[in-house]
Amino acid sequence: MAASLNGKTILITGASRGIGLEIALRAAHDGANIVVAAKTAEPNPKLEGTIHSAAEEIRKAGGQALPLVLDVRDDDAIAATVAEAAETFGGIDVLINNASAINLSKTPDLPMKRFDLMHQINVRGTFAMTQACYPHLARAENPHVLVLSPPLNMVPQWFGDHCGYTMSKFGMSMCVLGMAEEFRGAGIGINALWPATLIYTAAMNLVGADPSTCRSPRIVADAAYEILTRDAADCTGNFFLDEEVLGAAGISDFSDYAMTPGAALQKDLFVL
């Protein structure tokens, strides 16, 4: 439906680095307004990127940027962020629930504070952000909510390997399943997007992923762009893999996305 994201206002949680930033930059090339909503305002020696450095990159790429400090566990901060975004740009067209916490510990080894963190950010954060943005999305032309979460494949392996994390990511996907049906009459496209292979980000670096087995976040950004430019009323309730989205757009060669050309890639978690 929309050939371009020019002039669209896109609120992205966790947009200071990684996949969130790549999606922002892809939309910025069209001249989109990007709300960079993330926790990092000051440089962190362990994680590169802040909301301000991301905003600078977005502006250089051709977009408008509004950097806002946001902890998606804080309801008042969510309300303030959504209100400032809508006031600054005249509304909200797209919400991307990208912020996520990861801990792959087995059940006996997972501290409950880490369990709580994952569920507060991943599940509750997705629900709360979508709830807060709904009034603006309902008034937008071609509104989308995109959640970075996996297909709902109830495979025992995923739960046995890291039950706490799996529950939190599948909780995000259950938001997609439920809200797509709930908001179908409002014409809001609510979909999930997940990488077919590991993506090299700061989070993957922290859990020790081998970069040579990963792809660049650009593949997810390009897939997100394809989804967000579709007709929201006809594109909802889907659990997309990045390869499938790009394949439907006529792209079959993904070699340019590899971190190490020619290296064997590793499937992402939750991908059969």
List residues with catalytic annotation.
Answer: 165
CA distance 108 to 97: 29
Spell out the alpha helix ranges (H) of 31-142.
Answer: 51-60, 75-89, 112-118, 125-137
Task: Please give the single-letter amino acid code of residue 8.
Answer: K
Half-sphere exposure (CA, 13 Å, Cβ side) for 84? 16
Task: Reduce the DSSP state of residue 86 to 3 states and report it.
Answer: helix
Query: Going by DSSP bridges, is the β-strand pair 64-69/94-97 parallel, antiparallel, or unpaired?
Result: unpaired
Residues present in the chain in total:
272
CA distance 50 to 31: 21
Helix (H) / strand (E) containing 218: helix 218-228
Neighbour-count burial for 142-151, b at 16+ CB within 10 Å, e otherwise: bbbbbbbbbe
Among 9, 15, 16, residue whose Cα is nearest residue 133: 9
- Residue 63 forms beta bridges with which residues? none
CA distance 21 to 36: 8
CA distance 3 to 32: 13
DSSP 8-state class, residue 265:
P
